[in-house]
């Protein structure tokens, strides 16, 4: 999903993990880990991070018809279309989108070297047009035998990092073919080598991935395997470092033949049955298996042969071919946790719910024992905090050589079942003695949320419950049962003002991460808590020295709050065992302002002197002097709201008068008014502009109200969505009234827009608050909730449990009320479980059937977010044309804020049923569209 708050141009990559004391819901964003495990492998749930582990933010390389900046060679400055019929937005927008992306960074395990991972701008549409297989919730490029539409790097530069922050000359990694596409970059445990995959597109459009290694000192790269016939299988896990000289690689079996052929005549009808009358409720999943042929094709591409490969060229296949999804070496390098999935498969859930087996092997491939073999999980309840039955979150203790721990639910995995305890955490050595039973580590009454390990005497265990937003952090002594567990923090996850921060972690020589203990003046036992520092004036990040025994804190670092926004990214003095000396503390920090790009510095104690290590240029200097302000205002029910107001460079309200205004937002659910009114974000953050960001229209003279809070609150036993329309309209009214009061927005030239759930919001506001906005732009939305009957977004009641709510919330049911112009945009291959392309098709037909002024743009090959340069530029052209025609040129009468605002809930309900003739038949299901608007960060 492309959102305006994802700073893909200049975000750096992760070097460690700070674990929250009260883990919130994990947003979707992109970063890369740099420790012993595969950099694209998802983090286990034992490591609860603020950001999920997805593929690095980077771009496809352009083909010969496109220059390195992504623009078409020979394209005239004033051309309004591309040769293939796609249109171009105005040059002032195009120049920002085509600005060269900055490299991403990766630090070595010893923090003495930095990689600059180079990338290019937006990919051409031809890259998205490559054939792909949609199997079991996974999209596969069969020619690569990898996930389709993989981003890549174009080069790797290595710099040494001195103690004073200066960078040495660049050593370019070399030796691989020109035009190679680089993926899965990872450091060896000792930092002396890099591993990565290479693919080079051939004329026949078939180029599989090969594993390469490079010497860090010389930059010389070479293939890992001497045989040219050994290829990487990158459908699931791909490779991992076992030690500093050995990798375990998922390869395509040498014995594999051609793909199975689809039979011309099916073997029989497709039959699903529930003659046992089981209750199975699933949200709408996409790209599922459809028949036996799909099952065979999934096995064909996903099956791997594991191979141990040493840097000296020796190799050894281990284990049988199987669909391996995770490879996890023990810290002492003696064992492997090997996870695979197997038949019977399912036609109603994706592969993450297929039968799953976890086995313990030695690192040379000898089977030790089976940890678990979980059955197909089609029946996980849709209620939040429901989980799979059986052992889950199986991991190695980060502070032990080879100790396994896991969690087992006590409520059958159903969040609606009352149980105490609800989860139990167990622990056991890799090879237990005869008769040795698993040890109960901790019992939890909420849902398990992860563990931060430190040593024998300290670990932090997290639990939370979505319905109440309660989150708790326990202090336990893992190897001393005489010490009773105690609650360290018990708070609401929504209360950002009370967030104490996350313990900073240090990297161990074995490549794991544990809580960093700090000693000061010969007294130890301190932790470092790194927090966002949310305040009513905005975030003021901090670093606290925290006494785990007494709970006392001392603030040892805090962001400049007058002009800059600074954050602590990671420890840079974290490699050695034992406690870290406070006087030798070294941290990596970032610093930015409203108009200054993010730069990174190393700060050293006790002087706290900072050495800047990057000098990134401003990515769009034409907007360097844009105006940004975090504003606060109040909803009519007393809820405090916030938004970020952006104004064009040089704009003066008193001299220039009100501007056309674009409001862009995304609703959120809360359990309390106080939490909904808390300020999130900082007024001093750099204004990052992504390729589809609404901030692009600053270059066209618009005022932009970005992210005005649209809280949907359900206090106590009330469900938030029961008053969705009422609260949505009230929040929008308050936002519009505020920008008009400030004199920056022309009353009858205010447009509303959003992506995904923001598109749903946009359509609802045009239906229920037509007095506020002159037009709307809705991208990749879902508009008919009866097509998602088993829950959507954060709604976990079914259509039959909350019929009125589903109907009232659906703008499809109010299509007859939408009189303002609305532009609908959708990717033809949308893979998001909440937003079938059909949703926009049917909504457009409903609008057209009532004579609404509307336009539908379907983007070939695009998914939920848009990737190709042609598609993105066309989306910007469509949006700019819409805003120019129906916002800037709008001559309707001004907004009357005293006019009747919206229908009552009862009226909405009656009119919705009248317009629809009742509840439509169910034609699809939907999974949760949990999207997060989160900035990518270097940790």
**Per residue in 229-272, pLDDT tens?**
999 999 999 999 999 999 999 999 999 999 999 999 988 888 88
CA distance 330 to 333: 5
CA distance 341 to 358: 9
CA distance 524 to 25: 32
Mean per-residue pLDDT, 201-218:
86
DSSP category for residue 87: B
How high is the pLDDT of residue 930? 34
Beta strands of 508-598 (E only): which ranges? 513-515, 517-520, 523-531, 542-547, 553-558, 564-571, 580-581, 586-593
* Contact by Cβ (8 Å): 836, 286: yes
pLDDT-derived band of residue 1, with 50, 70 and 90 as boundaries? very low
Q: Which is catalytic among the residues 830, 880, 903, 928? A: 830
CA distance 381 to 365: 37
Mean per-residue pLDDT, 772-797:
95
Q: Does residue 494 surpass a pLDDT of 80? A: yes
Higher-scoring residue by pLDDT: 525, 440: 440
For residue 500, give the nearest of 566, 570, 548, 443 by alpha carbon. Answer: 548
How high is the pLDDT of residue 622? 94
Q: Does residue 718 surpass a pLDDT of 70? A: yes
Q: Does residue 600 surpass a pLDDT of 50? A: yes
CATH level 3 topology of 621-888: Rossmann fold (3.40.50)
Q: Does residue 15 surpass a pLDDT of 50? A: no
pLDDT-derived band of residue 919, with 50, 70 and 90 as boundaries? very low
Q: Which of 194-198, 201-205, 592-596 has the lowest mean pLDDT?
A: 201-205
- Annotated catalytic residue 864: yes
For residue 707, give the nearest of 688, 726, 720 by alpha carbon. Answer: 688
104 three-state secondary structure: strand
Indicate the pTM of the whole model.
Answer: 0.86
- Residues 826-848 pLDDT 10s: 999 999 988 999 999 999 999 99
Q: Mean pLDDT in the chain?
A: 86
CA distance 318 to 891: 72
Contacts of 335 (CB under 8 A, 6+ apart): 329, 360, 361, 362, 363, 368, 402, 430
Q: Which two tokens stand for residue 422?
A: 């609800």
Distance between alpha carbon 639 and the CA centroid of its chain, in Å?
29
How high is the pLDDT of residue 218? 97
Beta strands of 685-742 (E only): which ranges? 703-706, 711-713
Contacts of 662 (CB under 8 A, 6+ apart): 694, 697, 702, 703, 704, 705, 750, 751, 752, 753, 883, 887
How high is the pLDDT of residue 891? 67
How high is the pLDDT of residue 728? 98
Query: Between 724-741 and 905-916, two packed helices, what is the crossing angle to 10 degrees?
Result: 110
Percentage of the chain modeled with pLDDT above 90: 78
How high is the pLDDT of residue 16? 34
For residue 98, give the nearest of 70, 123, 135, 119 by alpha carbon. Answer: 70
CA distance 809 to 462: 34
Mean per-residue pLDDT, 710-720:
92
Cα dist from 672 to 92, 232, 557, 650, 712, whole Å: 43, 50, 31, 40, 9
End-to-end CA distance of the chain: 22
Contacts of 384 (CB under 8 A, 6+ apart): 415, 466, 467, 794, 796
Count, in order, helices (H) and strands (E) of the chain: 11, 48
Q: Does residue 939 surpass a pLDDT of 90? A: no
How high is the pLDDT of residue 717? 86
How high is the pLDDT of residue 8? 32
Mean per-residue pLDDT, 586-612:
94
- Residues 860-871 pLDDT 10s: 999 999 999 999
CA distance 235 to 839: 29
- Residues 660-706 pLDDT 10s: 999 999 999 999 999 999 999 999 999 999 999 999 999 999 999 99
Q: Does residue 723 surpass a pLDDT of 50? A: yes
- Tell me the backbone φ, ψ of residue 858, rounded to 5 degrees: -105, 125
How high is the pLDDT of residue 575? 67
- Residues 308-342 pLDDT 10s: 999 999 999 999 999 999 999 999 999 999 999 99
Measured from the Cβ of residue 439, the count of other Cβ atoms closer than 10 Å reads 16
- Residues 728-761 pLDDT 10s: 999 999 999 999 999 999 999 999 999 999 999 9
**Strand 171-172 relative to strand 304-310: parallel, antiparallel, unpaired?**
unpaired
Contacts of 13 (CB under 8 A, 6+ apart): 31, 32, 34, 56, 104, 105, 106, 117, 938
Q: Which two tokens stand for residue 131?
A: 């054939």
Mean per-residue pLDDT, 643-654:
96
Q: Does residue 932 surpass a pLDDT of 80? A: no
CA distance 119 to 98: 13
Q: Does residue 907 surpass a pLDDT of 50? A: no
How high is the pLDDT of residue 848? 97
Mean per-residue pLDDT, 760-780:
98
Cα dist from 186 to 38, 189, 214, 240, whole Å: 7, 9, 10, 9
Q: Which two tokens stand for residue 174?
A: 């070399």
Beta strands of 272-380 (E only): which ranges? 304-310, 315-329, 335-341, 356-362, 367-374
Cα dist from 202 to 144, 177, 179, 205, 208, whole Å: 11, 12, 11, 5, 10
For residue 23, give the nearest of 566, 491, 540 by alpha carbon. Answer: 491
Q: Does residue 570 surpass a pLDDT of 50? A: yes
Q: Is 389 exposed, middle or buried (0-12, 13-18, 19+ CB in 10 A)?
A: middle
Mean per-residue pLDDT, 390-403:
97
How high is the pLDDT of residue 80? 66
Q: What is the DSSP string of 786-842?
A: GGSTT-BTTB-S-TTTSHHHHHHH-GGGGGGG--S-EEEEEETT---TT--HHHHHH
Q: Which two tokens stand for residue 345?
A: 């498969």
Mean per-residue pLDDT, 815-834:
96
pLDDT-derived band of residue 203, with 50, 70 and 90 as boundaries? low
- Residues 169-186 pLDDT 10s: 999 999 999 999 999 999
Q: Which two tokens stand for residue 753?
A: 């827009």
Residue recorded with tokens 């309004």: 80
How high is the pLDDT of residue 206? 62
How high is the pLDDT of residue 911? 34
How high is the pLDDT of residue 78? 42
Q: Which is catalytic among the residues 17, 826, 864, 874? A: 864
* Contact by Cβ (8 Å): 292, 135: no
Mean per-residue pLDDT, 124-141:
95
How high is the pLDDT of residue 207? 87
Mean per-residue pLDDT, 348-362:
97
H helix runs in 481-609, sequence order: none
How high is the pLDDT of residue 852? 97
Q: Does residue 799 surpass a pLDDT of 50? A: yes
Q: Which is catalytic among the residues 195, 665, 756, 833? A: 756
Q: Which two tokens stand for residue 121?
A: 């701008």
DSSP category for residue 77: T
- Residues 72-97 pLDDT 10s: 333 333 446 676 789 999 999 999 99
Percentage of the chain modeled with pLDDT above 70: 85
Q: Which two tokens stand for residue 96?
A: 């920002």
* Contact by Cβ (8 Å): 497, 538: no
For residue 528, give the nearest of 509, 512, 546, 552 by alpha carbon. Answer: 546
* Contact by Cβ (8 Å): 96, 622: yes
Cα dist from 256 to 199, 303, 304, 680, 714, whole Å: 20, 9, 10, 53, 55
Q: Does residue 623 surpass a pLDDT of 90? A: yes
How high is the pLDDT of residue 77? 38
Mean per-residue pLDDT, 357-369:
97
Q: Which two tokens stand for residue 329?
A: 């070496």
- Residues 849-858 pLDDT 10s: 999 999 999 9
pLDDT-derived band of residue 449, with 50, 70 and 90 as boundaries? very high
Q: Which two tokens stand for residue 214?
A: 């490079």
Cα dist from 571 to 166, 503, 605, whole Å: 18, 11, 12
Q: Is 76 exposed, middle or buried (0-12, 13-18, 19+ CB in 10 A)?
A: exposed
> String of b and e for 142-157 (b: at least 16 CB within 10 Å)?
bbbbbbbbbbbbbbbb
Identify any residues that bridge with 750 across adjacent strands, giving them in sequence order: 661
* Contact by Cβ (8 Å): 319, 306: yes
Measured from the Cβ of residue 120, the count of other Cβ atoms closer than 10 Å reads 22
Residue recorded with tokens 């326990």: 474
């Amino acid at each position: 999903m492309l959102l305006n708050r994802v700073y893909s141009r200049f975000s750096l990559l992760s070097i460690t993990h700070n674990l929250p004391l009260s883990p919130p819901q994990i947003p979707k964003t992109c970063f890369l880990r740099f420790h012993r495990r595969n950099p694209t492998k998802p983090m286990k749930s034992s490591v609860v991070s603020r950001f999920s582990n997805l593929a690095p933010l980077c771009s496809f390389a352009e083909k010969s018809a496109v220059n390195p900046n992504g623009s078409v060679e020979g394209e005239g400055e004033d051309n309004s279309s591309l040769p293939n019929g796609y249109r171009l937005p105005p040059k002032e927008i195009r120049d920002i989108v085509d600005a060269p992306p900055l490299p991403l960074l990766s630090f070595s395990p010893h923090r003495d070297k930095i990689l600059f991972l180079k990338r290019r701008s937006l990919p051409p549409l031809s890259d998205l047009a490559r054939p792909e297989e949609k199997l079991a919730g996974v999209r596969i490029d069969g020619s690569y035998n990898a996930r389709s539409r993989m981003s890549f790097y174009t080069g790797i530069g290595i710099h040494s990092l001195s103690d004073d922050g200066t960078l040495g000359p660049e050593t370019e990694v070399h030796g691989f073919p020109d035009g190679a596409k680089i993926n899965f970059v990872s450091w060896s445990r000792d930092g002396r080598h890099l591993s990565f995959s290479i693919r080079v597109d051939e004329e026949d459009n078939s180029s599989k991935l090969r594993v390469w290694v490079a010497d860090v000192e010389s930059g010389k790269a070479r293939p890992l395997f001497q045989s040219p016939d050994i290829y990487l299988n990158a459908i699931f896990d791909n490779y991992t470092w076992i030690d500093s000289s050995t990798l375990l690689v998922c390869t395509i079996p040498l014995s594999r033949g051609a793909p199975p052929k689809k039979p011309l005549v099916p073997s029989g009808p497709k039959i699903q049955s529930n003659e046992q009358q089981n209750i199975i409720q699933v949200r709408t999943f996409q790209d599922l298996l459809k028949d036996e042929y799909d099952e065979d094709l999934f096995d064909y591409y996903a099956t791997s042969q594991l191979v141990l490969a040493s840097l000296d060229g020796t190799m050894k296949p281990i284990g049988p071919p199987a669909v391996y999804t995770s490879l996890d070496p023990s810290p002492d390098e003696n064992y492997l946790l090997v996870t695979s999935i197997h038949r019977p498969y399912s036609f109603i859930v994706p592969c993450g719910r297929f039968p799953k087996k976890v086995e313990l092997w030695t690192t040379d491939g000898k089977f030790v024992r089976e940890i678990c073999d979980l059955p197909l999980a089609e029946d996980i309840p849709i209620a939040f905090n429901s989980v799979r039955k059986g052992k889950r979150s199986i991991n190695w203790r980060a502070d032990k050589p080879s100790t396994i721990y896991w969690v087992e639910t006590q409520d059958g995995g159903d969040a609606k079942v009352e149980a105490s305890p609800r989860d139990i955490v167990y622990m056991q050595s890799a090879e237990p003695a005869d008769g040795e039973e698993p040890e109960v580590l901790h019992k939890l009454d909420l849902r398990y949320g992860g563990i931060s390990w430190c040593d024998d005497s300290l670990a932090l265990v997290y639990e939370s419950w979505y319905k109440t937003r309660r989150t708790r952090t326990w202090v336990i002594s893992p190897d001393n049962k005489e010490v009773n567990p105690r609650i360290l923090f018990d708070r609401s996850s929504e209360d950002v003002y009370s967030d104490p921060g996350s313990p900073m972690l240090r990297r161990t020589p074995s490549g794991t991460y544990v809580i960093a203990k700090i000693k000061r003046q010969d007294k130890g036992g301190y932790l470092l808590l790194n927090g966002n520092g949310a305040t009513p004036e905005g975030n003021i990040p901090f670093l606290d020295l925290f006494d785990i025994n007494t709970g006392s804190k001392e603030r040892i670092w805090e962001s400049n709050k007058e002009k800059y926004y600074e954050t602590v990214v990671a420890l840079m003095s974290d490699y050695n065992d034992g406690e870290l000396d406070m006087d030798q503390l070294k941290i990596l920090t970032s610093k930015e302002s409203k108009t200054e790009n993010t730069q990174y510095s190393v700060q050293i104690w006790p002087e706290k002197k900072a050495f800047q290590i990057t000098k990134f240029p401003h990515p769009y200097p034409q907007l360097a002097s844009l105006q940004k302000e975090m504003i606060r205002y109040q909803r009519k029910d007393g809820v405090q709201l916030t938004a970020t107001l952006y104004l064009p460079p040089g704009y003066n309200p008193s001299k220039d008068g009100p501007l056309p205004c674009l409001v862009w937002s995304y609703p959120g659910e809360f359990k309390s008014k106080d939490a909904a009114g808390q300020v999130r974000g900082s007024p001093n953050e750099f204004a990052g502009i992504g390729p589809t960001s609404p901030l692009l229209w600053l270059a066209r003279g618009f005022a932009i109200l970005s992210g005005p809070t649209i809280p949907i609150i359900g206090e106590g036993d009330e469900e938030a969505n029961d008053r969705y329309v009422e609260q949505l309209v009230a929040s929008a009214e308050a936002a519009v009234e505020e920008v008009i009061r400030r004199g920056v927005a022309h009353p009858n030239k205010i447009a509303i827009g959003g992506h995904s759930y923001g598109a749903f919001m946009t359509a609802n506001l045009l239906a229920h608050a037509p007095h506020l906005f002159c037009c709307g732009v809705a991208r990749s939305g879902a508009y008919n909730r009866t097509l998602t009957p088993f829950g959507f977004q954060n709604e976990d009641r079914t259509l039959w449990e909350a019929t009125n709510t589903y109907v009232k919330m659906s703008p499809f049911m109010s299509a007859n009320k939408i009189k303002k112009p609305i532009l609908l945009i959708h990717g033809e291959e949308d893979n998001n479980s909440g937003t079938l392309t059909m949703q926009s098709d049917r909504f457009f037909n409903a609008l057209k059937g009532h004579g609404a002024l509307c336009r539908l743009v379907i983007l070939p090959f695009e998914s939920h977010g848009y990737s190709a340069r042609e598609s993105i530029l066309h989306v910007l052209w469509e949006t700019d044309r819409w805003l120019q025609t129906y916002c800037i040129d709008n001559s309707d009468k001004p907004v009357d804020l005293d006019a009747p605002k919206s229908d009552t809930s009862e009226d909405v309900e009656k009119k919705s049923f009248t317009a629809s003739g009742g509840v439509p038949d169910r034609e699809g299901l939907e999974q949760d569209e949990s999207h997060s608007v989160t900035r990518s960060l270097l940790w």
